[in-house]
Each structure stands twice: as C-alpha cells, then as structure tokens.
Structure 1
Amino acid sequence: MRIHVNHATIYTYDPPANGAIQILRLTPRNHDGQYVVSWRIDVSESCRLQAHQDAFGNLTHTFAVDGPISELRVLVEGEVETQDTAGVIRGISERFPPTLYMRETDLTAPNASLREFALDSVGSDPDRLAKLHTLMDGIGAAMTYDPDPTHASTSAIEAFELKRGVCQDYAHIFIACARHLGIPARYVSGYLVGDGSTRAQGAGHQAGHAWAEAHIEGLGWVGFDATNQMCPIETYVRVAVGLDYLNAAPVRGNRYGGGDENLSVALTVDQSSRQIQG
C-alpha cells in the first residue's frame, strides 16, 4: 500500500512570542515492509532545520526561531510504501539491547492494580507471543477509547484507573504490563490509515497514532496496537520509538515570552492514488 501523509501543526501566540525551539520526530525510516518514497518538512519561519538521529535512532529535526512570532507552522508531507509483516520489525539497526526496554519511566511504571491485571490477563500460558496477544485483547476489553479525560502526560496508572483514554494511554498500559511480565516493550509513534473501523487519532498536538512493540526471543520486535486490538499491518506508518511517549513525541519544544499559546492540528492519512510502477 502507498500511504500519503499530510500533517500540519500550527501554533499561534497572542501577544507574539519572543522565540521558540522545537525538536521534530516526524520522519519515518526505511525497514522491511516500509519504504519512504518521498518526505519533506517545512517550517513557516525562516530558519534552518538541523537533521540528527537521537539515542534511539529516530530521525529528528531541530530548529530555533527568534521573534516576534505570532504564528508558527510545521508542515509535513510525504508518501510511504508499506507491506504487511504481521507486526514483525526487521531491517533496522538497533542502538540498544532489548533489556534497555525493561526500564520503568514515570509514564509506564505499574502499580499493584496494573501488576494484578497483567498477571490475570495472561494466566499461565508459557508462550510469550500468545501472552502478548492475550494482554493486548485484555487491555482493549478493559479500556474505553475516549480522548476527553487524558492528555500526553497521563501515566499508565492514571489512565488505567480511569479505564478510559487514547492510543497513547493504551500503549503505556501495554508497556507497563509487558515489562512486569518480564518482556521488553517500547512505545511507537506513527500514522494509521483510518477506515472508520480504527481509532486513528491521538490527543492534542501528537495527532496520529501510537502503539507498542515487544521483544520476543527468536522473533525480534513485534508491534501490538491495544487500541485496535491488532498487530500493525500495511495501513501503519512507523515513525519513532522510545521508552514512552516523551522519547517518541512527534513535536516537542519550548517557546519563550509572549502570551497564550493556541494549537491546531490538521492531519490526513490515506491511501495514495499513485502506485509504484513495476
């Protein structure tokens, strides 16, 4: 499938801000089942985008602009060719051993309720892959998708207590439970082609989608989307990974000076009408 992404993030400041610094994790990488055909990032202000790779190997762009700034627009457009790999990730050079992804963070630390839920969900099945599928389905059944009560910094504990949340919350809960079961797990941000049957939108400025990956001996990293109770297929575009949302957030930064900041996001992710010619 060839997927077209058009993603605009627009900040307005009243009164104007004195300046802003941003880091963008908005560029996908090539790997088995995912080939970036074209991709570009434009910033409305006159500034230079500095390209880097972060500690996790994510492609990043940073920029700084001086004010006064009344509006700042970050525009992303590109096309990605994808294939269904049943959620298995191959063809990427990993920076860290899987054991790093056993590390708890403030957003993924479990409490007694999450630990009990994780153990009760999977039972005594010794097969790790089967456990993770059961856990994914259990989270999907226990939670209600609802963007209203949560935000980007909601922890797994907070979301699980509410039993409501968005894709970021489902991913954090899955990660917390998988790590408690002794399985390395990490957060993934990206895009998903919505067809009316999937929950493709995130919350606030991290519009897009989020899911988790868990590491299975002999198989490698495998994606699990607890929000939609499925492993990623060709409708998913994988962009960035990390221990939690903060490591893989599409846009993070600071502005200084000025008054209120207002944010709007326009996102279109659909199947492109153009196809690769053989």
Structure 2
Amino acid sequence: MRISVRHETTYRFDPPRARVIQSHRLTPSAHAGQKPLSWEVRVDGALFGSGFTDGAGDLVRTMTLDGPVSEMLIEVTGEVDTTDTVGVLRGHREIVSPRVYLRRTRMTAPGVALTALSDRLGAPATALQHAHDMAGLVAESVIYTPGATDQGMTASEVLELGHGVCQDHAQVLIALARMRETPARYVHGYLFADADGSAHEASHAWAELWVEDLGWVGFDPANRCCPDDRYIRVGSGLDALDAAPIRGISLGGGTETMDIAVSVAASQQ
C-alpha cells in the first residue's frame, strides 16, 4: 500500500520565547515493512542539524528556532510504500540489546492490578502464543475510550480505570510483558484505517514484543491485531515519554499550548 501523511503540530507561546530547541523523531526508517518515498519535516525559519540514527534504529534530528517565537508550526509531509509482514519487524537495523527493554519505568511499573492480570495468564505453548495471549488480555481489560485518560497516567492506573486509548493499551501491554520477562517497547507512528475500515485521524501507538526466533513483533491491542500494511512505524522507546516524537526546551517563561492535525490517506499507486 502507498500511504501519504500530513502531520501539523502548532505551538503557541505567551509571552514569546527567546529560542526553541527540539529533538525530532518524526521520520520513518526503511525496513522490510516500509519504504519511504518522500519525507520532509519543515519549520519556517528554523535551523536543522544533521540527522542521525540512534541505537534503536530510529532517525533523530535536532531543530533550533531563534526568537522571539510566539507561534511555531511543524509540518511533516511524506509518502511511504508499506508491506504486510504479519507484524514481524524485519530488516530494521539497530544495535541495542532486546534485554534493555526489560527495564521498568515509572509509566510501566508493576501494580496490584497488573499483578492480578499477570496471574490470569496460563503457561504458554510457545513464546509467540504467549505474546498473543498478553495482547488479547490487555484488549479485553482496557476498553477503548477517547478522553478517558491523560498522558501522565501510568499503565497500572489505566488498568485500574479499565478505559484508555492506544497509548494506554500499548503501555499496559509493555508493563505486563516485562513482568513476564518478555522485552517490550513502545512504538509510535501512523495508521491509515482502523480494523473496521474507518479512517484514523490521529497518530497511533502500539507495542513491540521480543519473540525468540522471530525478533520484534508488533501488537496493537487497541485494534486487536498485529501491524500490517496500514501502519507506518516512526519511532520507539521504553514508554510513551521515552518515545515522544518531539522533545525540547524553550528559553523564557509563560504558557505553552499545542494543537495537532493529522491526515493519513492511501495514495494512488
């Protein structure tokens, strides 16, 4: 499938900032499941540093915008050819050991609800089946409910609430997998359509679990599936905070607001 993306993030600062410095993880890498045909990240008046590939195989680039900055628009546009690899991440170059992703973070720390969820899992027939069982259990335990949570909620808090969005599904699955000694990481990107075929108008998130003899395998509990050719993978991390596509600082105090608009469409082949 050929997928086109337009992603606009608008920051507004009051009072204006003297300078804004950001690290962007906004560009998809090439692997067996996707081939970027064109991709551009643009900010009027900004200076971009040389990009680099981090240890996890994700593309990172720094940006500096001198002020006064009262409003800043980050425009991401591109087109990607995607291939269904049944969720298996193949041909993605990285040097970080999978065992790094056993590390627990504040967002994925164990709790009473997570322990109870883990106790519901039986002995797995295979490592792959165990991963599918965990993803299915998370999908059953957290009802997809837009607006029910905020970005700061931990996996344990979300599970106790029983409602959440794709970020929450991913972090609960990551926390559960690590409790079961399975390396797991958070992935952000784009989704052309939901499982029922309806348009998906926002960035998307899912989890990847390390399965022996297969490597990293993606699981999307929010849509009860593994990523296929509807997905564009952009970046990863230990949790949603670590994998944030935009991180940065600004010089000056005051209020900061952010608006996001995303459109994902199938392009003509």
Cα deviation, residue 21, structure 1:
1.2
* One-letter amino acid of the structure 2 residue matched with residue 41 of structure 1: V
Whole-Å separation in 2 of the counterparts to 1:46 and 1:125: 51
- Does residue 173 of the first structure (1) align with residue 176 of the second (2)? no
For residues 196 and 213 of structure 1, do their structure 2 counterparts lie closer, same or farther at Cα, with a shift above 3 Å needed?
closer
Task: Provide the residue aligned with 1:114 in structure 2.
Answer: 114
* One-letter amino acid of the structure 2 residue matched with residue 129 of structure 1: L
Task: Provide the residue aligned with 1:26 in structure 2.
Answer: 26
Cα deviation, residue 246, structure 1:
2.1
* One-letter amino acid of the structure 2 residue matched with residue 102 of structure 1: L
Cα deviation, residue 75, structure 1:
0.4
Task: Provide the residue aligned with 2:239 in structure 1.
Answer: 244
Conserved? CA contact 2:57–2:92, under 8 Å: no
Whole-Å separation in 1 of the counterparts to 2:141 and 2:108: 17
Task: Provide the residue aligned with 1:63 in structure 2.
Answer: 63
* One-letter amino acid of the structure 2 residue matched with residue 140 of structure 1: A
- Does residue 162 of the first structure (1) align with residue 145 of the second (2)? no
Structure 2 matches for 1:126-141, cutoff 5 A?
126-141=125-140
Give TM-score scaled by structure 1 length: 0.91
Whole-Å separation in 1 of the counterparts to 2:139 and 2:58: 28
Cα deviation, residue 173, structure 1:
0.3
Give TM-score scaled by structure 2 length: 0.94
Cα deviation, residue 200, structure 1:
4.2
Q: For each residue in 1:82-121, what CA deviation from the matched residue of structure 2 results, as whole angstroms up to 9, or x when unmatched? A: 111100011122212211111111111111320220230x
Conserved? CA contact 1:28–1:36, under 8 Å: yes
Task: Provide the residue aligned with 1:271 in structure 2.
Answer: 266
For residues 268 and 27 of structure 1, do their structure 2 counterparts lie closer, same or farther at Cα, with a shift above 3 Å needed?
same
Point out where structure 2 has 5 or more consecutive residues left out of the alignment: none
* One-letter amino acid of the structure 1 residue matched with residue 251 of structure 2: Y
Cα deviation, residue 57, structure 1:
2.5
For residues 224 and 167 of structure 1, do their structure 2 counterparts lie closer, same or farther at Cα, with a shift above 3 Å needed?
same
Task: Provide the residue aligned with 1:89 in structure 2.
Answer: 89
- Does residue 219 of the first structure (1) align with residue 214 of the second (2)? yes
Whole-Å separation in 1 of the counterparts to 2:195 and 2:186: 24
Cα deviation, residue 142, structure 1:
1.3
Whole-Å separation in 1 of the counterparts to 2:194 and 2:210: 29
Whole-Å separation in 2 of the counterparts to 1:264 and 1:185: 30
Whole-Å separation in 1 of the counterparts to 2:20 and 2:146: 28
Cα deviation, residue 195, structure 1:
4.8
- Identity level (%): 44
Task: Provide the residue aligned with 1:185 in structure 2.
Answer: 184
Q: For each residue in 1:125-169, what CA deviation from the matched residue of structure 2 results, as whole angstroms up to 9, or x when unmatched? A: 332211221221221111122232322232111111211111111
RMSD across aligned positions (CA): 1.7
Conserved? CA contact 1:18–1:258, under 8 Å: no
Task: Provide the residue aligned with 2:46 in structure 1.
Answer: 46
Whole-Å separation in 1 of the counterparts to 2:195 and 2:258: 25
Give the SS at the match of 1:187: strand
